[in-house]
Amino acid sequence: MKKLGVCVLGCFLATGVFAQHAHGKGKLQLKLEGQTLMGEMEMPMEALLGFEHLPKNKAQSDAMTRLQNAAQDAGYFIELPAEAKCQQKEAKAESSMFKGLAPKGHSDLDYSFHFICLNPQALTKISFPFFKSHIKSHQLKVEWVGDKGQKSFTVRSSKPYFSP
């Protein structure tokens, strides 16, 4: 296996092949339908763990386990205003790495979640606290679909929130 240092050039050149996969950058689709807020996020594992191969030592395997555990709570990734009274109904974290499959150079976290918000009008600011603890995450492209149509936002680690 190549070392991470080699990956800087190798992964950059590979972006044409993995058009959906850019290091440090993820994407999120958020859809609000009535009181139901559904999300699907795709984030490079490199941005979350700093590596995309199967864990090679205890520190790496602990980091992966911590991420899997943290992901059970969608609040780890996305913070909704308390006044919106949202309750998580479902959260599912998937990755080839969690299955112990050796990815061919790249791996993503595919994360889906679902909230019921009793007061969806209060969803005026949506924040992403994970940028603080995952410093290799730099950007999240958000597609928001609400009753007023569709909007795009680019959320960055320097400004980790948006207002739909």
Interface contacts to Zn ion, rule CB under 5 A: 44, 46, 52, 106
Shortest Å, Cβ 110 to Zn ion: 14
81 Cβ neighbours under 8 A, 6+ residues apart = 122, 123, 124, 125
CB 36 within 8 A of CB 80: no
User: Please, which residue, 111 or 115, has the CB nearer to Zn ion?
Assistant: 111
User: Please, which residue, 39 or 44, has the CB nearer to Zn ion?
Assistant: 44
Shortest Å, Cβ 154 to Zn ion: 20
> Which residue, among 74, 107, 66, has the nearest Cα to 92 in the 3D structure?
74
Shortest Å, Cβ 74 to Zn ion: 23
Kind plus residue range of the DSSP H or E element containing 25: strand 25-33
User: Please, which residue, 4 or 145, has the CB nearer to Zn ion?
Assistant: 4
> Which residue, among 160, 142, 164, has the nearest Cα to 79 in the 3D structure?
160
User: Please, which residue, 20 or 87, has the CB nearer to Zn ion?
Assistant: 20
